Amino acid sequence: MQLALSAGAPASSAPLQPVREGGRQAGSGGVVTDEVGRQVAIPREVNRIVTLAPDLTETIYALGLEDKLAGDTNYCETPPAAKRKPHIGAPLNPSLEAIVALHPDLVLASTSINRRETVDALARLGIAVYASNPHTVSGMLESVRRMSELMGASAKGEALVVPLQARLDVLRMRLGELPLVHVLFVVWQEPLISIGQRTFIADALRWAGAESVVLSDQNWPRISFEEVVRLQPDYIVFTSNHTADAATQLADLRARAGWKGLRAVELGQVAVVSDEVARPSPGMIDAIEQLAREVHREAFSLRSANGGFDSERGGRSPRLVAAKEGCVSCAH
């Protein structure tokens, strides 16, 4: 089993380093500055795209540009149709030969999982590589906008991003001045690894009206169970790549010495949120809404006059389930 997402390149590799987040690029074609400060010559017509990370593949499908997707990685499984595309290997070590054979007009890379060596090697082969660097939810939406422009699909980018931002705005209004719920976000259970304050997952939690109990400048800090006992989180949050449902996860924790004594476990305040929350892609908005519904049930106990906001509006099925003292409650 792997971490929810890569912490970056191995120590012997130079990771893609962020320069800034935000800032629009004009039109498709011409020389642009990508999100790690590289100058990239984008072809005027972008008809064949290769993605080097699952979040980028998901973004291509969300934009409705899947016909332009010439290939993706072995790990691209969302949506299921992505598995049928030609694969170019793993994100950390893709096959350059396989990428070249697909004759891409543009390759999309991500600082969340790709290596600088891969990007530089492709650039030396004369292939245009745009590196994205979203480390906040707003940054992810802006990155989607920028990439849609590069692919000549600005209108589709706006049609995707504007409703997603509107859903975030409604969520912020819904939660209002409610206090942030303190959660332990579990990236990995043995050893216990959580998230740092500067990750985009931490920012996603804040949009959901929550915050990590772990204060660390490291992206993926390892913490002791004794520290968890001291912190006593209100909720323990897992992603769906670790377990199928919260009832199963809760039962597992209650069977473990130590864990069963945590207040959150005693109260059944364990949530399993879609692993979309760990990907800087449009599906993250669904996961944020779903988590907000769980940790701030009081804000969703009564539907508003316009029907409230449902994750179904985004056309995706909610995948968060929460366990409460012997029952399983669906996020719907």
Please, are residues 44 and 29 in contact by the beta-carbon 8 Å criterion? yes
Over residues 9-32, the mean pLDDT reads 47
**Total number of domains constituting the chain:** 2
Domain presence at residue 278: yes
* 206 & 135 share domain: no
pLDDT in tens, 247-297: 888 888 888 888 888 999 999 899 989 989 988 999 999 999 999 999 998
Domain presence at residue 110: yes
Distance CA 175, CA 76 (A): 33
Q: Where are the alpha helices (DSSP H) in the chain?
A: 54-62, 96-101, 116-124, 137-150, 154-175, 200-207, 225-231, 246-254, 263-266, 284-295
Residue finishing a domain among 103, 119, 152: 152
pLDDT in tens, 152-208: 999 999 999 999 999 999 999 999 889 999 999 999 988 999 999 989 999 999 999
Domain presence at residue 294: yes
Domain residue limits at 325: 177-330
- Give phi and psi for 49, each to the nearest 5: -125, 140
Q: Is 217 exposed, middle or buried (0-12, 13-18, 19+ CB in 10 A)?
A: exposed
pLDDT at 61 over 70: yes
Q: Locate tokens 């998230």: which residue?
A: 195
Domain presence at residue 24: no
pLDDT at 315 over 90: no
* 185 & 143 share domain: no
* 200 & 326 share domain: yes
Domain presence at residue 184: yes
Selected residue with higher pLDDT from 332 and 65: 65
Q: Which residues pair with 329 in a beta bridge?
A: 322
Q: Which residues of 87-110 are buried (b: 16+ CB within 10 A; e: fewer)?
A: bbbebbebebeebeebebbbbbbb
* 278 & 210 share domain: yes
- Domain harbouring 257, CATH code: 3.40.50.1980
* 87 & 182 share domain: no
Domain presence at residue 190: yes
pLDDT in tens, 92-112: 999 999 999 999 999 999 998
In this prediction, residue 317 carries a pLDDT of 32
* 90 & 134 share domain: yes
* 143 & 74 share domain: yes
Q: Count the helix, strand and coil residues of the chain and give each as a percent rounded to the nearest 5.
A: 35, 20, 45
pTM: 0.80
* 308 & 188 share domain: yes
